[in-house]
Structure 1
Amino acid sequence: MRTPRLLAALPALALTALLLSGCAANESYESATDSGSMPGFDGGAEVPISEDSASDVVDADRSVITTGYLYLTVDAPIDAAAEATTIVEAAGGRVDGRTEYGPQSLSSRMATDAGGAELVLRIPADRLTATLEKLKALGEVEELQLSSSDVTREVQDIDARVTALRSSITRLLALQDAAATVEDLIALETAISDRQAQLESYEAQQRYYADQVDLSTLTLTLGSLAIAPVDEPDTFLTGIATGWEALVAFGSGLLVVVGVLLPWLLVLGLIGLVVLLIVRAAVRRGSSRAAI
């Protein structure tokens, strides 16, 4: 009676065929692409991507991560930070980081600044331009930098891996109910656990890329007028203005030096006067003795 044995061996044969097909898929993917595992994550099982999906990257919606830096000179940095927060939240964004510092004395300029602030803003990518214009209106733009990184291929690669892993886990769960031996059951549970761990890793990458693509990151620095960068003169009139400001700054610095040295000069002058009187008195006494 070979038929019962053959029927009993069918689940084991199906499991073996499934595992072998998974290995074959891994080898075909590794030989077809040089991308390998994503940066910062272990490779795990590789999921093949069809040539059609790879060639459609240009036609599909692009996934772009945008980051930027904006430096503004404002009258009141702390108040401007509150306004910037309101602008970003009204656009559907959020503030991921906020640093503020109070007024500081500027000895080199004989002035006190109005403090400052630095904000890490997350702004919806489709509203970045409009929000940026509103932020720029808060003060004078000293520096603006924007950079973009296209991660379309990475996002599509991860999506394909997630889809394939979910399908693989579904098939393995179906086979688990039909396992004929303990060894088959253990092998299936091990395969399911391994693919589940890989799936969770790729799903974490999906969430990371989705957050970075949907929300652009802008670092906003707010400084006061007292520490604003000095504009370089480019005309005759601006040259005169710069020269006058330099002369005033030099005079102010000179007054500071005189003020610091004046007490010492007074003390040294008094000491010199006393020494001079003593010397004169001694000379007069010597002259009087010589005359006698």
Structure 2
Amino acid sequence: MTRRLRLTTAASLTLLAALALGGCSAGAFDSATDSGGPAVGGDSGGEFAGEFGDAPAPEEAVQDGESSDGRSVITTGYLYLTVDAPLEAAEEAARITERAGGRVDGRTEYSPDQVGDASAELLLRIPSATLTATLEQLRALGEVEELTLQTDDVTREVQDLDARITALRSSVERLLALQDDAATVEDLIDLETAISDRQGQLESLEAQQRYLSDQVDLSTLRLTLGSDATAPVDEPDTFLTGLIAGWESVVAVGSSLLVIAGVLLPWLAVLGILTLVVLLVVRSAMRRRAR
């Protein structure tokens, strides 16, 4: 009885030490990350350290989606093109994206009989490493009306996720090793509960890691293809362009007035005839009264 009590006590102490060690390891990684120091060092990065760890050494190849100094950057942009045939240009834009190793995540096309003028909108995911070259090919499809690009540095988020995943992986491995040494059913249940909880946290963090990796590796570009009729109006910025814009507005107003006059002219003719008939009837009645 005394020997069994000793074994139970030893197993319990071992379990508590393992849980405390795992918590301290996670706390150490969090503290290192929050203080601005390196999140992962040495061999503790595991299989994810090469993808989301510190900046690669100068002799190492820089991964897609990372800048030359090892930062992880998410790039998003918007491009508006005026083309002769928007629907055909949409097909070519999709082919350009796929040849570059990207994909089309969304596509909307409007035929001429739906909105009056054909147009198309595409959501393109382009590899960050080939974004500049792919943009040049897309710009060649027509006239650029608007182009905006913005970047978001997520290096800190990536390194924090990597550190947390590394700590949780190590903790789960230690707890799994302790399962064979569990002396009682209670110890085994406690171990399984702790393992299940940490594996759930690990899967959640790995899902976030995959999402960030996809956003970093593939830039997001919203492409709008329109015709000359739907192209944005250029704002005048010089005296000559202002003069041209003023003359065009005068011509447009004159044309509108002519259209309005053409619409009202038949009605004016009808109203004139009705007025003449009324006047003749009134004059005839007045003559009769005078007699």
2:20 maps to 1:14: no
3-state SS in 1 of match to 2:79: strand
Give, as a single letter, the amino acid of the residue that structure 2 aligns with 1:208. Answer: Y
Equivalent residue number for residue 190 of structure 2: 187
In 1, Cα distance between equivalents of 2:103 and 2:27: 44
Q: 1:276 to 1:24 in 2, by over 3 A?
A: same
Q: 1:158 to 1:144 in 2, by over 3 A?
A: same
Give, as a single letter, the amino acid of the residue that structure 2 aligns with 1:198. Answer: Q
Pick the structure with greater CA Rg.
Answer: 1
In 1, Cα distance between equivalents of 2:168 and 2:96: 42
Equivalent residue number for residue 72 of structure 2: 63
3-state SS in 2 of match to 1:231: coil
Q: CA deviation at 1:27?
A: 4.9
In 1, Cα distance between equivalents of 2:107 and 2:23: 49
2:82 maps to 1:79: no
In 2, Cα distance between equivalents of 1:267 and 1:62: 77
Please report the RMSD computed on the Cα atoms of aligned residues, expressed in angstroms.
2.9
Q: Report if the CA contact (8 A) 1:74-1:140 is conserved.
A: yes
Q: Report if the CA contact (8 A) 1:57-1:153 is conserved.
A: no
Give, as a single letter, the amino acid of the residue that structure 2 aligns with 1:184. Answer: D
Q: Report if the CA contact (8 A) 2:22-2:167 is conserved.
A: no
Structure 2: gaps (5+ residues): 46-52, 58-68
Q: Report if the CA contact (8 A) 2:105-2:124 is conserved.
A: yes
Q: 1:86 to 1:27 in 2, by over 3 A?
A: closer
In 1, Cα distance between equivalents of 2:151 and 2:109: 28
1:95-114 paired onto structure 2 within 5 Å: 95-103=104-112, 114=117
In 2, Cα distance between equivalents of 1:268 and 1:277: 14
Q: Report if the CA contact (8 A) 1:113-1:225 is conserved.
A: no
In 2, Cα distance between equivalents of 1:104 and 1:232: 30
More displaced stretch, 268-277 vs 255-264: 255-264
In 2, Cα distance between equivalents of 1:7 and 1:117: 73
The superposition leaves residues 2-51 of structure 1 with CA deviations (integer Å, 9 ceiling, x where unpaired) of 6665345332221111112233345556666659xxxxxxxxxxxx9469
TM-score by length of 1: 0.81
More displaced stretch, 146-155 vs 25-34: 25-34
Equivalent residue number for residue 41 of structure 1: none
1:166-181 paired onto structure 2 within 5 Å: 166-181=169-184
Q: 1:226 to 1:104 in 2, by over 3 A?
A: farther
Q: Report if the CA contact (8 A) 1:169-1:196 is conserved.
A: yes
Instruction: Give 1:228's match in structure 2, choosing from 227, 231, 234.
Output: 231
Q: 1:160 to 1:27 in 2, by over 3 A?
A: closer
Q: CA deviation at 1:117?
A: 1.4
Q: Report if the CA contact (8 A) 1:70-1:221 is conserved.
A: yes
2:243 maps to 1:248: no
In 2, Cα distance between equivalents of 1:156 and 1:224: 45
More displaced stretch, 183-192 vs 218-227: 218-227
3-state SS in 2 of match to 1:70: strand
Q: 1:33 to 1:238 in 2, by over 3 A?
A: closer
Report % sequence identity. 67
TM-score by length of 2: 0.81
More displaced stretch, 58-67 vs 265-274: 58-67
In 2, Cα distance between equivalents of 1:197 and 1:252: 70
In 1, Cα distance between equivalents of 2:101 and 2:228: 30
Q: CA deviation at 1:251?
A: 2.5
- Number of residues paired by the alignment? 269
The superposition leaves residues 120-157 of structure 1 with CA deviations (integer Å, 9 ceiling, x where unpaired) of 11000001001111111111111111111111121111
In 1, Cα distance between equivalents of 2:140 and 2:266: 49
Instruction: Give 2:217's match in structure 1, choosing from 197, 214, 218.
Output: 214
